Structure 1
Amino acid sequence: MTPEEILPDALLERLRGRAAGYDHNNLFFHEDLEELAAAGYLKLFVPVADGGMGLGLEAVAALQQRLATAAPATALAVNMHLVWTGVAHVMAARGEATLDFVLKEAGKGEVFAFGISEAGNDSMLFDSTTVAEPLPDGGYRFTGRKIFTSLSRGWTRLGTFGKDASARNGEGELVFGFIHRDEPGHETLNDWDTLGMRASASNTTLLKGAAVPTERIFRKLPVGPNQDLLIFAIFACFETLLAAVYTGLAERAFMLGIESVKRRVSAKHGGRSFAQDPDIRWKVADAALAMDAIYPQLSAVARDIDNLVDHGAQWFPKLVGLKLRATENARYVVDLAIRVTGGSSYFRGSELERLYRDVLAGIFHPSNDESAHNTVANAWLGPLDN
């Protein structure tokens, strides 16, 4: 199936029609989620044998880009489900079936969210301030505070992790598992009132001794950077799908700018269209050049992941570089679109005004500017001397 068949124009227009209301009223995208689930969108990575579409990362990234042209906050939140199902897909493609149960559960309608981020934890996946307390049956009890839990109002499964400080002779161990929503020990705070991406409902999640049985504990890793397949798969899906969402957002802003330039007329130039103004034309061309550069980078990285290409130590620089370039590129294109549109875009309720607020969220997603540059510099120059 083509992206247009999976996400037909009529569906996109319904999603776009709800986006402004979700944003204005700070509401979770319940209706969007229901429609997307009914269309099979939450099963993109799920194998056909398990009731899904069996797509790869390149195809899913293209769909997320298309979805974000209509409803960026919806696309961003759906990303979290697609990250976990994508991680399971990427691992399975490399011969590891550890997370096959994620694909099977997604095929039955379960919705996955990402409970990883912690305030002040700039080590991200390589350390945790959440306590993972071992239980006698091999399970763990998680206690901590997770921020930016997108899909907080819609998940049925929350993938999270914490640290068992007593493990590995006191060096600590990172423990990954899935929490079920219908079980006790977790609370979603009503604290998501932000500048943009409001429909994503990326509320804080408190883990208050949430118990995860041994069969849902799927990884134990040493504290600190490592090359484990799970870490690669999370980076691969998270960064690539984020890049897709912000590229779709930028694409929509660019098209809105084009429409505005063709529609506006200039009294200074005798009522001629702004499309005839050399300065405006230069800005439009600059935005088009920026968009032309990000499309092939996004496709190439996703395709290499699908094709099991081995970039070795360069994989992480490629992934964080893609995310950084896509989010910064989107900010640049949205800014140009606002400049060529003029003062109407500054008014509350205009689509460009909303996109301008939404695009700023790209600054905060990992890997951020500093972390990405550090990763790339280490890849080419080696680590800093102690």
Structure 2
Amino acid sequence: MTESIGTDIYIRNEREAEIAQRSDRLAALFASRAAHHDTEGSFPFDNFADLRESGYLQLTVPRAYGGEEASLYELVLAQERLARGDGSTTLAVGWHVGLMHQLRFTNAWPETLYARFCRESVETGALINNLATERATGSPSRGGRPETKAVATEGGWLISGRKTYSTLSPILTCFTVSAAIEGTEETGDFFVRSGSGVRIEETWNTLGMRATGSHDVVLKDVFVPDDQLIHRSGAPRKERKPDEGGWLLHIPACYIGIAHAARSFAINYAQHYRPNSLNTPIAELPNIRRQIGEMEIELVTARTVLYSVADRWDREPERCKALKPELGLAKHVATNHAISIVDTAMRIVGAASLSRSLPLERMYRDVRAGLHNPPMDDIVVNGLAQRALDEVKLMNS
């Protein structure tokens, strides 16, 4: 399913090799279960048990709390290799390991709450996700005010509302939500534990990424203590560092991993399939070789952009803000190239690629989902255009 670690130029040292090896082992297990969870639309609890047992869930937790404190580059490597087995599981766990990476750098949570959750994640395998999207407001990146409400009460807050696209919802014991603070123009971010007043409405029945458990989460007068209010918009954020979005590279890493698996499947098929009209496998045909070459160009391009941006992010922390357009570029290139790669893989395999007995049709449906993960293509393109316009204007001034 994956090439030997020694041939992967993006593995630079022993630690990275160990991270890749773990992801490869898990990916092999997940690949054997992926079709079942996709068909059933079921949440892969078995995969998450393996992730917990392997230590993967503490990949980006600080060493001070028992984690591995992975760099952004290592996070990308782990996720890309894992996605070669199952895209749904990888995208879902990516929100947890990605958020833990983000929190390590932004100091967004009160230290006591952050330390407590880090230890809980390491000791019990607790997962976290930020539930922010709502049907009325769409993606939170578009700036809509949440319809979920927070009402002040003695000792804390009562939270009521509905969050959509709540990935990992079947397995989350805690999560964060954004809510409008009743009676004010402010909003707040709250740490919520599952329990009384929290229910999951199983709404996730989609074309692709069917096993991410991204159902609706409904909250009704859920009590949140004062010390679990992470932040309110009117309060100062003196200690919080800006979130420059590097952690979101877990998204393109996932889609490149799926594309890599599709490319490898198609090449293996071409090397072994020989119709009775030919004396050699179809891999020897000029048209098939051209298509393999085109897949390789797109895959190498996408991986080069992704890993180079992650490496620069780690090495040049003072330039993280300036690298934000490149983060968007990495996602744009990865997602669109992944769709093209899987499409070409299906052309190589032919009509058999439509069969549910082969993984390509699932991979094709899964990579389509990347178009709807942040940042969106239009935002990326507009941002790069603005940077180019500003650069030329400055040159001519």
Same fold (TM over 0.5): yes
Q: Which residue of 1 aligns with 2:52?
A: 37
- Alignment partner, residue 283 of structure 2: 275
Of 100, 106, 128, the residue aligned with 2:145 is 128
Q: 2: CA distance between counterparts of 1:296 and 1:95?
A: 33
CA distance in 1, matches of 2:49, 2:145: 33
Q: 2:243 aligns with which of 228, 232, 256?
A: 232
Q: Does 1:17 align with 2:32?
A: yes
Residue 175 (1) aligns with residue 156 (2): no
Aligned to 1:150: 167
CA drift at 1:371: 2.6
Taking the aligned partners of 2:335 and 2:30, their CA distance within structure 1 comes to 22
Number of aligned residue pairs: 369
Name whichever of 49-58 and 331-340 sits farther off. Answer: 49-58
| CA displacement at 1:231 relative to structure 2 | 6.1
Q: Deviations over 1:91-149 (max 9, x none)?
A: 25x99958444423322322112312222425614443233424145733332221111
> Structure 1 unaligned runs (5+)?
none
Structure 1 Cα separation of the partners of residues 384 and 182 of structure 2: 30
C-alpha offsets along residues 254-281 of structure 1, whole Å, 9 cap, x if unaligned? Answer: 100110111122555x332211111111
The answer to whether 1:343 aligns with 2:351 is yes
2:131 maps to what in 1?
Answer: 115
Is this contact kept in 2: 1:127–1:163, CA < 8 A? no
Q: How many angstroms does 1:50 deviate by?
A: 1.8
Q: Tell me what 1:253 maps to.
A: 262
Could you list the runs of 5+ residues in structure 2 that have no partner in the other structure?
A: 1-14, 391-397
Q: State percent identity of aligned pairs.
A: 25
Are the counterparts in 1 of residues 106 and 242 from structure 2 also a CA contact under 8 Å? no
Which of 76, 79, 100 is the equivalent residue of 1:85? 100
Shift of 1:189: 0.6
Query: Which residue in the other structure is 2:178 paired with?
Result: 161
Distance 1:215 1:16 in 2: 42
Counterpart Cα distance in 1 of 2:191 and 2:55 = 23
After superposition, the Cα gap between the structure-2 partners of 1:189 and 1:215, relative to the gap in structure 1 and judged at 3 Å, is same
Distance of 1:20 and 1:35 partners within structure 2: 17
Deviation readout 1:24-68 (Å, 9 max, x if unpaired)? 111110111011101111001122332222212211211111110
Alignment correspondent of 2:335: 327
| Deviation for aligned residue 1:210 | 2.4
The 2-side partners of 1:38 and 1:70 are apart by: 17
Q: Answer yes or no: is 1:189 the counterpart of 2:206.
A: no
CA contact (8 A) 1:91 1:99 kept: no
Cα offset for 1:294? 1.4
Asked if the contact 2:166–2:213 (Cα under 8 Å) also holds between the matched residues in 1, the reply is yes
Q: Counterparts of 1:292 and 1:272 in 2: how far apart (Å)?
A: 28
Give the structure-1-normalised TM-score. Answer: 0.87
- Cα distance in 2 for partners of 1:3, 1:349 equals 30
Given the superposition, is the C-alpha separation of residues 124 and 194 from structure 1 closer, same or farther in structure 2, using an over 3 Å criterion?
A: same
State whether residues 338 and 367 of structure 2, in contact with CA within 8 Å, keep that contact through their aligned partners in structure 1.
yes
- Residue matched to 2:362: 354
**Residues of 2 paired with 1:194 and 1:251: CA distance?**
23
Q: Which letter does structure 2 place at the counterpart of 1:174?
A: T
* Deviation sequence 1:263-307 (CA, Å, 0-9, x none): 122555x33221111111111101101111111221222223333
Q: Distance in 2 between matches of 1:181 and 1:342?
A: 47
| Aligned counterparts of 1:101 and 1:95: Cα–Cα separation in 2 | 11
Deviates further, 155-164 or 58-67: 155-164
Coordinate RMSD, CA, aligned: 2.6
| Contact 1:331 1:359 survives alignment (8 Å) | yes
User: Which of 16, 19, 44 is equivalent to 1:3?
Assistant: 19
For the residues of structure 1 that align with 2:309 and 2:167, how far apart are their CA atoms? 24
SS of 1:135 mapped into structure 2: strand
* Alpha-carbon spacing, 1:95–1:354, altered in 2? closer, same or farther (3 Å): closer
Q: Which amino acid aligns with 2:102?
A: V
Give the match for residue 216 of structure 2. Answer: 204
